[in-house]
Amino acid sequence: EIVMTQSPATLSLSPGERATLSCRASQSVSSNLAWYQQKPGQAPRLLIHRSSNRATGIPARFSGSGSGTEFTLTISSLQSEDFAVYFCQQYNNWPLTFGGGTKVEIK
Amino acid sequence: EVQLLESGGGLEQPGGSLRLSCAASGFTFRNFAMAWVRQAPGKGLEWVSAITGSADTTYYADSVKGRFSISRDNSKNTLSLQMDSLRADDTAVYYCTKGNIGYYFDYWGQGILVTVSS
């Protein structure tokens, strides 16, 4: 099983600041990585697939990069609605696995 | 508009069974893989099971293999998850998800709570 490790667990930032979230795979997942955003009491929402492709309707301030074992989700300028938990997921191998999440909170 | 609506959750005793259903609309159901993802209270996301569009192949997490069974009815646009031999650690919100190329999940239902407790 591929283990996905996200860091940091919590990121405390102010609106307007840049957020950089990391996701590391225990073995290569090529570019088969997705990012999701989850707000309290809501289902997750797809942000990014294939490492860097924004999903339909996702603002351009969200960007993804990386391949192999190291991936990054960047939010260029945090808006109030971006404070949430973010999960990465690999879909290169079975079983599909998620990272433990990074909570982006208001500083 | 894609919609996924789960039903069938609730409280069940350890060792019991529940069947979850997901009614899908807004896309050509038979053309897409579907999956179940769960989230225990206060925890992260865990993939549970997936099924191809034609239902010819199914996949399971080790934690549910032999106890859960995924199926679909493409004539009714419905996805199901039969959960047997339930355990306390199966307690979670279960999400019905639409798969896309390579099994990332582009649409999620609102989730349904399954509680396993005596």
In which element (H, E) is residue B20 found? strand B18-25
User: In chain A, which residue's Cα lies nearest the Cα of B44?
Assistant: A100
Q: Would you state the structure tokens that stand for residue A98, as one six-digit string?
A: 């998620």
- For residues B23, A88, A86, A39, the Cα torsion angle rounded to the nearest 10 degrees is 10
At B83, the pLDDT band (50, 70, 90 cuts) reads very high
**Cβ-defined contact of B45 to A44 (cutoff 8 Å):** yes
User: A8 preceded by cis ω (within 30°)?
Assistant: yes
Tell me the per-residue pLDDT of B18-49, one tens digit each, with 9 for 90 and over.
Answer: 999 999 999 999 999 999 999 999 999 999 99
* Mean of pLDDT values over A68-89: 98
In one-letter notation, the amino acid at residue B16 is G
Per the CB < 8 A criterion, the answer to whether A61 and A73 are in contact is no
Shortest Cα–Cα distance, B111 to chain A (Å): 7
**Cβ-defined contact of A34 to B110 (cutoff 8 Å):** no
Q: Is B105 on the interface with A (CB under 8 A)?
A: yes
Q: Alpha carbon of B74 to those of A40, B22, B54, B80, B96: distances in Å?
A: 33, 12, 8, 11, 15
At B101, the pLDDT band (50, 70, 90 cuts) reads confident
Residue found by looking up tokens 């509680």 in the block: B115
C-alpha–C-alpha distance, residues B72 and B80, integer Å: 6
Residues in chain A closer than 8 A to B62 (CB atoms): 1, 95
